[in-house]
Amino acid sequence: MSQLCTSDSPDLFRSLLSRIGDKWTLIVIGVLGEERKRFTELVDFIPGISRRMLTVTLRALERDGLVSRTVYAEVPPRVEYEVTPLGRSLQAVALTLGDWVSEHQHTIAHHRREFDAATAP
Amino acid sequence: MSQLCTSDSPDLFRSLLSRIGDKWTLIVIGVLGEERKRFTELVDFIPGISRRMLTVTLRALERDGLVSRTVYAEVPPRVEYEVTPLGRSLQAVALTLGDWVSEHQHTIAHHRREFDAATAP
DNA sequence: CTGAATCCTAAGGGATACTG
DNA sequence: CAGTATCCCTTAGGATTCAG
């Protein structure tokens, strides 16, 4: 973890972490990990996401090379998104994070209740 | 990754992810992972952190049961923080995330430069 | 020494309307 | 269909000050 302080590029490190921690990134990668999808399919598939936030999230992922964007010269326009091999490798790492949360979520929820009970009254 | 949509408690899941993605959490866990430290030691040890943000971060970690807080009845007061076994298990997972970033940071930085060059001009 | 309280700004993110 | 632009509200987080 000390690379968080000594890394070549702590700013890059942090920007990646906050990307992972943001509201939609992992969800989008997870959905795209199953199969390539077009814009509206993603909107329909991901409950609660707005077109704006989907655009913002996809642009960021594309910029980092985690997702690729393919435009087909058709009318009406068709655009498909797909995770890259790099994105897939991130997904694999994120999955272990997801497993950790799944495994410990009840313990953590319990800690929170205890802490709140001990602090609030 | 689909547990992001189907999890028992997506809110808890998200709160944990954004905790991990915030500015100081992993740094604090990383530093405390090496050895237990008191408040001021942490401030001195972590470049750039304010006392306020250290307090906020430590409280959140304590609430989740990732860090424990011990108060000694002395004058002047002494408080020591230490990662719990649960915190250590999270640190292990976060380390794999750190490894991934270390391994791919140059690739990602390259992607960003290319993307920005293709979009900005 | 170890915080809590307050103030302030910058960024995240939602709703809505418009466009090629 | 696939976005972009705008407005606005909420939250993260820094600076500073006060207190036990």
A75 to chain B nearest CA, in Å? 24
| % chain B with pLDDT above 90 | 74
> Does residue A15 sit at the B interface (CB-CB below 8 Å)?
no
> Does residue A96 sit at the B interface (CB-CB below 8 Å)?
yes
- Nearest by CB to residue A3, choosing from B1, B19, B102, is B102
Q: How many domains does chain A divide into?
A: 1
The pLDDT-based confidence of A7 (bands split at 50, 70, 90) is low
pLDDT at B78: 98
Domain that holds residue A46: 2-119
Chain A residues whose CB is inside 8 A of the B84 CB are none
B114 Cβ contact partners less than 8 Å away, ≥ 6 residues apart = none
Residue range B20-29: mean pLDDT, rounded: 93
Q: What is the 3-state secondary structure (H, E, C) of chain A?
A: CCHHHHCCCHHHHHHHHHHHHCCCHHHHHHHHHHCCEEHHHHHHHCCCCCHHHHHHHHHHHHHCCCEEEEEECCCCCEEEEEECHHHHHHHHHHHHHHHHHHHHHHHHHHHHHHHHHHHCC
* pLDDT at residue B6 tops 50: no
Contact A12 B96 (CB under 8 A): no
Joined together, the tokens standing for residue A95 give: 């999955």
- Find the CATH number of the domain harbouring A12: 1.10.10.10
Q: Which residue has the higher pLDDT, B94 or A60?
A: A60
Q: Mind listing the pLDDT tens digit for each residue in B38-48?
A: 999 999 999 99
Q: Mind listing the pLDDT tens digit for each residue in B35-88?
A: 999 999 999 999 999 999 999 999 999 999 999 999 999 999 999 999 999 999
The answer to whether the beta carbon of residue B50 comes closer than 7 angstroms to any atom of strand C is no
Q: A–B: how many Cβ contacts below 8 A? A: 157
- Spatial separation of the C-alpha atoms in residues B100 and A59, rounded to whole Å: 21
The residue count for chain B:
121
The answer to which of A1-5, A11-15, A92-96, B91-95 has the lowest mean pLDDT is A1-5
The answer to whether the beta carbon of residue B39 comes closer than 7 angstroms to any atom of strand C is yes
Average pLDDT, chain A: 90
B76 to chain A nearest CA, in Å? 24
Q: Which residue has the higher pLDDT, A69 or A75?
A: A69
The model scores a pTM over 0.85: yes
